[in-house]
């Protein structure tokens, strides 16, 4: 059993990794067909991952309701929202789900008037917290954070039209910050991160990195 549980996955990862890395260098028709088929399979597998996410979210709120955790009543609204959307989605404007998707159904209405405004608003709350942090906590504690704040102020002024009014040099300085020091540092980080990604990939292929196996035997 250990063979099926541990060895087989490691062999699969090794074979797939080596095969796909070599495929890149072989311009033969057969190798291209392989790439097409395998990429199609992989995106189909990835589609199933959506259901893992959905299941864990349903499960999380179900346990809250079952155990009557503080504030469990709100979890009912998750189920309410999901079920009503699913019902209208499967009804598909009276044509049912085995037909093609219809336009302008109640399902779309729920998206445009619940998901869009609520989703857009939740993340905009952060604007207020940034303003309050600017007032209360963004401090030039060290030389490093002083440089950071000065660069930030120049970029913030240079990237809005008002910077032009204060001085024509401010947008020019902001452009320079973006295109020279910022570019250099971001390229350095990118090179470092890419080396890290290659190292991780190699470790996966050769079975050193096994965290994808999860816990247990």
Q: Map the footprint of another protein across residues 141-180, applying CB under 8 A.
A: 141, 144-145, 147-157, 159-162, 164, 175-180
Could you tell me the smallest distance in angstroms from the CB atom of residue 137 to another protein?
A: 5
Instruction: Single out the residue of 66, 69, 167, 188 in contact with another protein (rule: CB under 8 A).
Output: 188
Could you tell me the smallest distance in angstroms from the CB atom of residue 178 to another protein?
A: 6
Q: What is the DSSP string of 82-104?
A: HHHHHHHHHHGGGT-TTSPPPSS
- 135 scored as a contact of another protein (CB under 8 A): yes
User: Residue 173's CB: how many other CB atoms inside 10 A?
Assistant: 16
- 62 scored as a contact of another protein (CB under 8 A): no
Give the distance, in angstroms, between the CA of residue 74 and the centroid of all CA atoms in the same chain.
Answer: 26
Instruction: Single out the residue of 65, 84, 93, 173 in contact with another protein (rule: CB under 8 A).
Output: 84
Q: What are the Cα distances from residue 191, in Å, to 185, 195, 196, 202?
A: 10, 6, 9, 17
Size of the residue set binding another protein (CB under 8 A) = 155
- 70 scored as a contact of another protein (CB under 8 A): no
Is the CB of residue 138 less than 8 Å from the CB of residue 156?
no
- 115 scored as a contact of another protein (CB under 8 A): yes
Collapse the DSSP code of 208 into the 3-class scheme (helix H, G, I; strand E, B; otherwise coil) and give the result: coil
Instruction: Single out the residue of 26, 69, 114, 172 in contact with another protein (rule: CB under 8 A).
Output: 114
Q: Which is nearer to another protein, 115 or 167 (CB)?
A: 115
Task: Name the token pair of 89.
Answer: 């989605």
Give the distance, in angstroms, between the CA of residue 145 and the centroid of all CA atoms in the same chain.
Answer: 29
Give the distance, in angstroms, between the CA of residue 163 and the centroid of all CA atoms in the same chain.
Answer: 33
- 63 scored as a contact of another protein (CB under 8 A): no
Rounded to whole angstroms, how far apart are CA atoms 188 and 184? 6
Instruction: Single out the residue of 136, 167, 169, 172 in contact with another protein (rule: CB under 8 A).
Output: 136
Could you tell me the smallest distance in angstroms from the CB atom of residue 176 to another protein?
A: 8
Instruction: Single out the residue of 26, 32, 96, 169 in contact with another protein (rule: CB under 8 A).
Output: 32
Q: Which is nearer to another protein, 66 or 183 (CB)?
A: 183
Give the distance, in angstroms, between the CA of residue 162 and the centroid of all CA atoms in the same chain.
Answer: 34
Could you tell me the smallest distance in angstroms from the CB atom of residue 94 to another protein?
A: 15
Backbone φ, ψ for residue 63 (5° rounding)? -65, -35
Instruction: Single out the residue of 62, 69, 96, 134 in contact with another protein (rule: CB under 8 A).
Output: 134
């Amino acid at each position: 059993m250990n063979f099926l549980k541990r060895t087989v996955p490691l062999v699969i990862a090794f074979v797939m990794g080596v095969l796909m890395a070599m495929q890149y260098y072989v311009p033969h028709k057969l190798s291209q067909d392989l790439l097409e088929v395998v990429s199609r399979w992989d995106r189909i597998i990835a589609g199933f991952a959506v259901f893992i996410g959905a299941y864990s979210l349903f499960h999380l709120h179900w346990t809250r309701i079952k155990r009557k955790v503080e504030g469990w009543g709100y979890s009912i609204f998750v189920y309410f929202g999901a079920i009503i959307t699913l019902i209208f989605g499967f009804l598909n404007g009276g044509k049912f789900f085995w037909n093609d998707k219809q336009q302008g159904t109640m399902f779309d209405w729920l998206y445009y008037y619940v998901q869009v405004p609520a989703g857009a608003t939740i993340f905009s709350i952060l604007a207020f917290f940034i303003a309050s942090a600017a007032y209360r906590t963004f401090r030039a504690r060290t030389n490093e954070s002083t440089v950071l704040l000065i660069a930030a102020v120049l970029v913030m002024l240079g990237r809005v039209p008002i910077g032009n009014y204060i001085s024509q040099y401010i947008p020019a300085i902001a452009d320079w910050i973006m295109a020279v020091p910022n570019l250099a540092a971001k390229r350095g980080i990118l090179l470092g991160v890419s080396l890290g990604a290659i190292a991780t990939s190699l470790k996966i292929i050769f079975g050193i990195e096994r965290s994808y196996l999860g816990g247990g035997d």
